[in-house]
Amino acid sequence: MAEQTQILLEQADLGRTIGRMAHEIIEKTGSPGDLVLIGIRSRGVHLARRLARKIEDIAKLAPPVGVVDVTPYRDDRTQEEARAAVGAFEAQVAVDEKTVVLIDDVIYRGRTIRAAMEAVERLGQPKRILVAVLIDRGARELPIRADIIGKNFAAQDGQRVNVLLEESDGVDRVTLAHWQRRGGD
Amino acid sequence: MRNLISIADLTNDEIEEIFSLADGADKLRTDRSASGQIMATLFYEPSTRTRLSFESAMQRLGGSVISCSDMKASSTAKGETIADTAKVVSSYADVLVVRHNWDGAVQAMAEHAEVPVINAGDGSHEHPTQTLCDLYTLRREKGDLKGLTVVVCGDLKNGRTIHSLVYALARFGANVVTLAATGMELPQYVIDRLEREYDYAMGPVASDDLSAVVTETDALYLTPKQPHQLALFTQVDKVIQARLNTMASGLRYDAFYMTRKQKERMKDGSAANSYPTIGPDFLNEKRFQNTVVMHPLPRVDELSPEVDKDWRGIYFKQAAYGVPVRMALLKFLFDQRSVTPSASSKETGAYRDSLSSGSKCRNLNCVTLKESVSTQRRMELYFADEIGVLISRCGYCDHRFKVELIGHVKSKRYCAYDIAFAETVRAWMRHGELAVFDSIKEAEELGYEPYKTGPQRVLMEEAEISAALADVSEQILRDCQDMDRLTIVGVRSVGSRLAQRIAGEIETRLKRKPELGEIEIYGSGNELKRIPPADPDAGPLNLKDREVILVDDVIFTGRTVKSALSIIFRSGRPKSVRLAVLIDRGHREIPVKPNYVGKNIPSSENERVRVRLHELEQGEQDQAVIYSIVNPIDDVETLARNEERAALS
């Protein structure tokens, strides 16, 4: 159970951060016409939709948004479980020859992103894959990097970064809680 | 008797013959063509209709059926390959009916079976017998197939029934309108095949004409923000095109072919809402008064109940034709048993891949990747058009890829493909001297050198390489949490040598040897193994719960690392993977980042960085070098410029 909670980002910070990330995505990917955003379920999807709106405001072109659920690809599931899960993509997008930006709320051990890359590969052959996350909390277990980062925060092992978003939690806020870790990112 | 893997295995005349057999249902009822024969149904995926109608058809023809209620619970669960299953079951039955979740798996099984094999659906590739039922239904309802306009709706990407159906419609001269759900458009390889083999192209129809399908009624639900892609594919045939052009009131739609809304693929509300559906508005629309509605079933909610009661909803009829059509097909195949199949190679003129080529299929659901031991590497090369775009096609799953790197087998040189070399490449093909690669790294692994290189510059000498490796080894030891779990894995071939050297460094420091392995990304062999000489008692390399250090010489786009990670994770869930490289040259296309880098070297994209080690290059010293690659096309252009200049002066 949570012992204590500390606020990392307030609503206004979150809005500014997402705005800056949208600019950075445009800057790093060049032509917005080739851009595809893929949100990782579930908060990554809300972030992807927000980023797509911001990008539309800036570049006058809304990138398509795909949704991926990586649970069937996660390496901590057994082969049998993985086989039983059908179709990781809930909203498919064409990725061939596109610049794909994978979007998640928090990057931690890197396993979710690796699984998402695997799922994208099943969709087609993108020109490039980048990763955008709201919070990079460090402590990677795989050689995966985030290209666009909202905020770096080196969290301790027993701490938990909670990203709360209006769409799912009724409020925009990022908090840090001392939590008993239950595994996973 | 012969195999039926693709709808292309039957000629139009043969399909007509099967249909006339199905028409004589009364005669079929007393037919005993399959008497004394046994059919084995092997279904690796669930099925009700296809399987039951096959079994019913076989028994009605006097034959009998054996089957395994769940292939996943059979010896497959014990790790039997599909090749072995096909061989074994061949001795129990006279014909195999197979459904599998991998693209091309039925083709692979047919190559190992000693009896004929019928495809009852393979991955998202083909489902020819469903197509026979669809065509038969259409012909019964609408008469001649030529000139009909059929709208295919819904999931056109994953639907194997759709792929077989559009090829068949094209062969019979019907027009095909595609109305895809968002993100589920017809795959490019299917469109390519329509264009190349059936002379189909996007039709010359005003966009208003097509959008009328969706705007004149609310029958087909559309979200305004994500317009569906509508396209008409039609034969490049003057008569048909002229007719299309003169149709004042737009196209006449003969049939709507809906596919199942795959709910499991879209839990997301918005995606589900944008799936096309047919409802009462459709039925009331005058334009559609003669348009029949088809569906391969099972359906979810893409057809409203009103359609069931209307004469135009013919999907239950379509399902009912399943047995007579399959009876007719079986009778046709059994009667032909003694006849050797006509040499109707659909790929005549195409170059058959030889061992010289390194290219492999990139469709991750292809049987060649899922179970390479049951397949032979077979990519077919052909020119897509007169311009000279070179395509390689997988002989199992039919996916097609543009060729970007080619090599000459005799001179062992590689270069980027350009349409300017089409003639040269044709000649190489004829003489079996053409090789194709997926990446420069692959070409180099297979011993090919660039066609021509610019001046070479030395980046690291022997002493610097040793110092860098010592440094990297030191850092690895510092970060390592548990020496007993450490496994050093090199990417073949230079990465493996570097991994061995790092292991040597660690051994001198700790007086014990870390576990050593090798990943082979290019090549047909074992993708993960111990580096010889390994302890014979050690057993196969298992990376589960290991602290893996992945070693490669140069990191560039990051694609090699991504492939290596996939291989590592297939072998089990490692505790961690850290990446060590001698040189990081930038230009990443995949979000991977090395943990240990010997040296960072800025480079431009058309340069190559090579690490040469004395273990691999005889008599040479260790060295890292950089040079630019000159492609022949640059030479051709320089030559042209020089000639121009000479002409001007």
8 Å CB contact of A114 and B569: yes
A81–B contact, CB cutoff 8 A: no
What's the helix, strand, coil split of chain B in %, to 5?
40, 20, 40
What is the predicted pLDDT for the residue at B274?
Answer: 60
Specify the amino acid at residue B170: A
Full residue range of the structural domain in which residue A111 is found: 33-155
* AA letter at B130: Q
Domain CATH for A45: 3.40.50.2020
Residue A116 lies in a domain: yes
Count up the domains in chain A and report the number.
1
For the segment B451-469, the average pLDDT, to the nearest whole number, is 93
Give the pLDDT score at B247.
45
Q: Are the C-beta atoms of A142 and B549 separated by less than 8 Å?
A: no
Cβ-based neighbours of B466, under 8 Å, separated by 6 or more: B622
Hey, CA dihedral for B198, B204, B205, B207, is it positive or negative? positive
Contact A154, A125 (CB under 8 A): no
- Span B339-354, mean pLDDT? 43
- Do A123 and A93 meet the contact criterion of CB atoms below 8 Å apart? yes
Residues of A with CB below 8 A from B267's CB?
A: 69, 90
Residue A77 lies in a domain: yes
Per-residue pLDDT for B316 more than 70? Answer: yes
pLDDT in the model for residue B588: 95
Of B183, B268, B593, the CB nearest to A143: B593
Asked if residue B216 lies in contact with residue B190, where contact means CB atoms within 8 angstroms, the answer is no
Inspect the interface and report whether the beta carbons of B268 and A90 lie closer than 8 Å.
Answer: yes
- With beta carbons under 8 A apart, name residues in chain A contacting B566: 118
- Are the beta carbons of B265 and A129 separated by less than 8 Å? no
Average pLDDT over residues B42-55: 90
Smallest CA-to-CA distance from B552 within B492, B475, B480, B625 is with B492
The tens digit of pLDDT for each residue in B267-295 reads 444 444 567 777 777 777 777 788 888 99
* pTM score: 0.72
Position A86 scores a pLDDT of: 35
What was the pLDDT predicted at A81? 44
Q: Is A170 touching B (CB cutoff 8 A)?
A: no
So what's the pLDDT on residue B289? Answer: 82
Q: Is the pLDDT of residue B117 over 80?
A: yes
Strand partners, B578: B549
The answer as to whether A101 is a domain residue is: yes
Judged by a CB distance cut-off of 8 A, whether residue A114 touches chain B is yes
Contact A127 B593 (CB under 8 A): no
Instruction: Find the CB nearest A144 among B267, B268, B592.
Output: B592
pLDDT in tens, B403-431: 989 999 899 999 989 888 888 888 888 88
Residue A110 covered by a domain: yes
Q: What are phi and psi of A129, to 5 degrees?
A: -125, 130
Closest to B453 measured CA to CA, from B584, B325, B625: B625
Per DSSP, what are the bridge partners of residue B416? B405
The Cβ of residue B534 has, within 10 Å, a number of other Cβ atoms equal to: 15
Q: Comparing C-alpha atoms, which of B548, B589, B590 is closest to residue B569?
A: B548
Please report the pLDDT score of residue B357 as a whole number. 56
Question: Could you tell me which residues come within 8 angstroms of residue B398 by beta carbon, excluding any fewer than 6 positions away?
Answer: B6, B103, B104, B125, B126, B189, B193
Interface ipTM > 0.85: yes
**8-state DSSP, B183:** T
What pLDDT, on the 0 to 100 scale, is given for residue B54?
96
Would you state the pLDDT for residue A79?
A: 47
- Among the listed ranges A89-98, B62-71, B504-513, which one has the minimum average pLDDT value? A89-98
In this structure, of B58-72, B88-102, B541-555, the range with the lowest mean pLDDT score is B58-72
How many CA atoms, within 13 angstroms, populate the side-chain half-sphere of residue A79? 8
Domains of chain B are: 7-125 (3.40.50.1370), 129-310 (3.40.50.1370), 351-451 (no CATH), 457-630 (3.40.50.2020)
CB contact under 8 A, B577 and A141: yes
Q: What residues of chain B lie within 8 A of the CB of A90, using their CB?
A: 265-268, 271
Which of A7-16, B381-390, B568-577 is predicted most confidently? A7-16
pLDDT at B342 over 50: no
Residue A184 domain-assigned (yes or no): no
List chain B residues with CB under 8 Å of A67.
Answer: 268, 271
Instruction: Mark yes or no for CB contact B183/A66 under 8 Å.
Output: yes
For residue B203, what pLDDT is reported? 56
Contact B569 A121 (CB under 8 A): no
Chain B residue whose CA is closest to A115? B566
Cα torsion through B414, B415, B420, B423, rounded to 10: 10
| DSSP 8-state class, residue B209 | H
**Residue A91 contacts B, CB cutoff 8 Å:** yes
Nearest CB to B589; choose among A83, A122, A128 = A128
Segment among A71-80, A146-155, B124-133, B344-353 with least mean pLDDT: B344-353
In sign, the C-alpha dihedral spanning B491, B492, B494, B500 is positive
> Does A92 contact B183 at a Cβ distance shorter than 8 Å?
yes
The DSSP result for B232-257, as a single string, is: EEEES-HHHHHHHHH-TT-PPP-EEE
Inter-chain CB proximity A90 and B265 less than 8 Å: yes
What is the model's pLDDT at position B479?
A: 94
Token pair recorded at residue B587: 């230009």
Is there a domain that residue A48 lies in?
Answer: yes
Token duo for residue B177: 């309108």
Flag whether A142 is in a domain.
yes
Tokens representing B93? 């039955």
pLDDT lower than 70: segments of chain A:
1-3, 72-92, 179-185
B262 in reach of chain A (CB within 8 A): yes
CB atoms within 10 A of CB A27: 9
d(CA B273, CA B196): 35
Using a CB-CB distance cutoff of 8 angstroms, which residues of chain B are in contact with residue A142?
565, 576-577
Describe the crossing of helices B322-335 and B128-142 by its angle, rounded to 10 degrees.
Answer: 110
Chain B: closest CA distance from residue A75 (Å):
6
Inter-chain CB proximity B577 and A92 less than 8 Å: no
* pLDDT value at B4 more than 80: yes
* B184 contacts chain A (CB < 8 A): yes
Residue A49 belongs to a domain: yes
As to burial, measured by CB atoms within 10 angstroms (0-12 exposed, 13-18 middle, 19+ buried), residue B579 is buried
pLDDT at site B571: 81
Contact B569 A127 (CB under 8 A): no
Q: Which of B72, B183, B577 has its CB closest to that of A94?
A: B183
Tens-place pLDDT, residues B371-381: 888 888 788 88
B592 → closest Cβ in A45, A141, A143:
A143
**A125:B362 CB<8 A:** yes
Question: Rounded to a whole number, what is the distance in Å from the CA of B336 to chain A's nearest CA?
Answer: 39
Q: Which residues contact B643 (CB under 8 A, 6 or more apart)?
A: none
Contact A130 B593 (CB under 8 A): no
